Amino acid sequence: MSRGLCAYAITREHVLDLAGLPDPEVRLITHRGLGLVVADVDLAPYADLDTDPARAMDEPAEDDPLVVLARRHDAVVRAVFERQPVLPLRFGTVLRDPDAAARLLADHHELASRELDRVAGHREWGVRARHARPVKPDDTPPAGLSGTEYLARRRARLAATEHTKRRGSEAAEALHAALAGRATDTVPRPRRSPALLLDAAYLVPTAQEPAFHAEVERQCDVGEVIVDVTGPWPPYSFARLELPADGRAEAITHA
């Protein structure tokens, strides 16, 4: 096994804008108004991957083979997403042949069409919020405090910490509620840091985007939380289907 059909996304049948694609090999396999974005690829680089994903996420290196392939996947999905709604496929989806691709579209025509309608006219935005102030204050007591003074001081510090923490959480909740109100759908994302008060993805209609960003600004102005926004993304976090494929089971391992 050396070559396979790498699949990137399900989209609507259209004429691919080849100029926008990072790879001229990318093409569309169509079936009744749907299209599967694919490319003939050499599978060896995929099969030889041995990157530790945790390390790749913590210490990203652009020249890592996994990163190169993941960037390429993202670039293809994005290029199509510029013009048409897409349902991104999980990285590393390799189909046996064009027939398999057409069968996939045929078997899941209704579901895929419905999901494309759902994400059409939307873009995904990632939002993270964290405390604007350190929650754990510097607590080195000055020398020469009496016992009572020390305890009073400690109590004040505890109250202040609790207050900061609560205000931050409330601000993050308010932010989420406001953003969710502008979004068609929202999913929490796995939080990469304990310090994050909010880490979620929002599926936002393009018409709502100015209002969505205005909500972010508004909450930033309050000053309790620092907000990071990423995007716009193709709806990666909202393509949550598992499509079972019928027929013979055939697991081809790398030779």
Partner 1 sequence: MDGSSSSLADVLERVLDKGIVIVGDIAINVVDIELLTLRLRLFIASAQTAREMGMDWWTGDPFFSPHAANRGVEAAREPAGELEEQNSLLRGRITELEQMLGERDVAPVERGAQP
Give the one residue of 31, 83, 109, 165 binding partner 1; rule: CB under 8 A. 165
Going by the DSSP 8-state scheme, the letter that residue 10 receives in this structure is: E
Give the β-pairing of 225-233 and 122-131: antiparallel
| Token pair belonging to 248 | 């013979």
Give the one residue of 161, 167, 185, 211 binding partner 1; rule: CB under 8 A. 161
Q: Among residues 15 and 251, whose Cβ is nearest to partner 1?
A: 251
* Region near partner 1 per CB under 8 A, out of 21-29, 82-90, 177-185, 204-212: 82-90
Residues 6+ apart with CB under 8 A from 14: 28, 35, 83, 84
- 99, 200 in Cβ contact below 8 A? no
Q: Among residues 17 and 99, whose Cβ is nearest to partner 1?
A: 99
Q: Among residues 27 and 124, whose Cβ is nearest to partner 1?
A: 124
- Please tell me the count of residues contacting partner 1 according to CB under 8 A: 79
Q: Among residues 16 and 243, whose Cβ is nearest to partner 1?
A: 243
Distance CA 127, CA 228 (A): 6
Site for partner 1 in 48-77 (CB under 8 A): 48-54, 56-58, 60, 62, 66-67, 70-71, 73-74
Give the one residue of 30, 196, 205, 211 binding partner 1; rule: CB under 8 A. 196
Minimum Å gap between C-beta 73 and partner 1 is 5
Minimum Å gap between C-beta 111 and partner 1 is 10
Minimum Å gap between C-beta 48 and partner 1 is 7
Question: ∠44-45-50 over CA atoms, to 5°?
Answer: 115
| Token pair belonging to 178 | 């406001």
* Region near partner 1 per CB under 8 A, out of 47-55, 141-149, 176-184, 202-210: 47-55
Minimum Å gap between C-beta 2 and partner 1 is 12
Minimum Å gap between C-beta 124 and partner 1 is 8
1 binds partner 1 (CB under 8 A): yes
Burial of 60: CB neighbours in 10 Å, binned 0-12, 13-18, 19+: exposed
Closest CA to 123 of 229, 246, 247: 229
Site for partner 1 in 98-157 (CB under 8 A): 100-101, 103-104, 126
Query: What would the 3-class secondary structure string for 38-73 be?
Result: EEEEECHHHHCCCCCHHHHHHCCCCCCHHHHHHHHH
